């Protein structure tokens, strides 16, 4: 309790909320790249797969290889939960190993009533020590409040996702606005501590521009530039803020499975560097 009060005091004094922390890291690392650690056993190279703890061994090698070029890592909890207790252990080890100078995101897409959301916040922010998480806003304000208490911890809310099924509910319209636009409006109203952001798929380049105009200051987490085939250049031009920052572009499979052979780490490093450079080039086209 005292620690939390003290942290709040420091945060208020220094004014370092999540949004500013993200901006500092993007500037220091000169990168908008987020690498997604969606690790599946079947795609880990043979010599690593034979080890005792292959999920973590693979992640460690990928983190070491790519850290120079990344502003963030996004760890999708599903890929670890699928392996039961061992998977959960690898998830924890991965978070413990992630660098201090990146934004480390638990992509868990949680959302539940208040007393339950509190438990998820504890799991993701306190136990895993994630810097940011993804949250599903369908259950509304009291379901998201427990995630927003600490201004240093970020929450990216699902807004318009990268998959085909996003059309089923996210485009549901009242004639004046669609559901995803209502989500933008709500998230802006929840952002009293500077720690809210939005998840907007790179597969929707036009809507990305529209959402950026509606929320000029919110950080965006933009998945879909890799294996999902979203348009990288347009996503950067439309998704970044007025300073050509304020957005993280996630690539998972295209980076971590760049090679399935013994050279997988080198290949991931080259792919991360190339993607970081492509993102930076696209930024320069903005003006």
Q: Rounded to whole angstroms, how far apart are CA atoms 36 and 77?
A: 11
Residue 172 burial (C-beta neighbours within 10 Å; 0-12, 13-18, 19+): exposed
Dmax (CA) for the chain in angstroms is 56
Q: Rounded to whole angstroms, how far apart are CA atoms 195 and 62?
A: 28
Q: Which of 34, 57, 117, 225 binds a second copy (CB under 8 A)?
A: 117
Q: Which of 113, 243, 261, 263 binds a second copy (CB under 8 A)?
A: 113
Taking each helix axis from N to C terminus, what angle separates 54-66 and 264-284, rounded to the nearest 10 degrees?
40
CB-wise, 109 or 245, nearer to a second copy? Answer: 109
88 touches a second copy (CB under 8 A): yes
109 touches a second copy (CB under 8 A): yes
User: What mask of x and - would describe binding to a second copy in positions 172 to 211, judged by CB under 8 A?
Assistant: xxxx---x--xx--x-------------------------
Which residue reads 């696209």 in tokens?
Answer: 282
Which among 109, 118, 188, 278 is annotated as catalytic?
Answer: 109
* CA-based nearest residue to 241, from 22, 17, 14: 22
DSSP-derived secondary structure letter, 263? T
Mark whether 278 is an active-site residue.
no
CB-wise, 16 or 41, nearer to a second copy? Answer: 41
Q: Which of 102, 162, 191, 235 binds a second copy (CB under 8 A)?
A: 162
79 touches a second copy (CB under 8 A): yes
Q: Rounded to whole angstroms, how far apart are CA atoms 201 and 223?
A: 5
Task: Supply the residues annotated as catalytic.
Answer: 109
Query: In the complex, which residues of this chain contact a second copy (CB under 8 A)?
Result: 38, 40, 76, 78-79, 81-85, 87-89, 92, 109-117, 119-120, 122-123, 127, 136-144, 158, 161-170, 172-175, 179, 182-183, 186
């Amino acid at each position: 309790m005292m620690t939390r009060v003290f942290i709040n005091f420091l945060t208020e004094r220094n004014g370092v909320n999540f949004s500013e922390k993200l901006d500092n890291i993007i500037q220091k690392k000169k990168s908008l790249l987020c690498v997604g650690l969606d690790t599946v056993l079947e795609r880990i190279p043979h010599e690593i797969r034979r080890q005792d703890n292959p999920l973590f061994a693979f992640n460690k090698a990928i983190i070491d290889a790519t850290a120079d070029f990344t502003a963030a890592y996004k760890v999708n909890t599903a890929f670890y939960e699928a392996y039961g207790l061992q998977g959960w252990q690898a998830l924890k080890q991965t978070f413990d190993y992630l660098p201090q100078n990146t934004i480390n995101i638990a992509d868990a897409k949680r959302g539940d009533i208040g007393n339950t959301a509190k438990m998820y916040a504890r799991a993701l922010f306190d136990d895993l020590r994630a810097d940011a998480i993804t949250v599903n806003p369908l259950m509304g304000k009291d379901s998201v409040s427990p995630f927003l208490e600490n201004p240093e911890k970020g929450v990216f809310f699902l807004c318009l996702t990268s998959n085909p099924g996003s059309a089923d509910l996210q485009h549901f319209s009242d004639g004046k606005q669609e559901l995803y636009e209502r989500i933008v409006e709500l998230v802006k109203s929840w952002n009293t501590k500077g720690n809210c952001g939005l998840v907007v798929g790179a597969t929707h380049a036009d809507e990305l521009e529209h959402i950026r105009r509606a929320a000029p200051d919110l950080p965006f987490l933009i998945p879909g530039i890799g294996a999902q085939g979203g348009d990288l250049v347009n996503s950067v031009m439309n998704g970044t803020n007025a300073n050509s920052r304020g957005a993280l572009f996630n690539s998972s499979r295209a980076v971590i499975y760049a090679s399935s052979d013994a050279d997988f780490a080198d290949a991931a490093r080259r792919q991360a560097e190339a993607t970081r450079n492509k993102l930076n080039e696209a930024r320069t086209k903005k003006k």
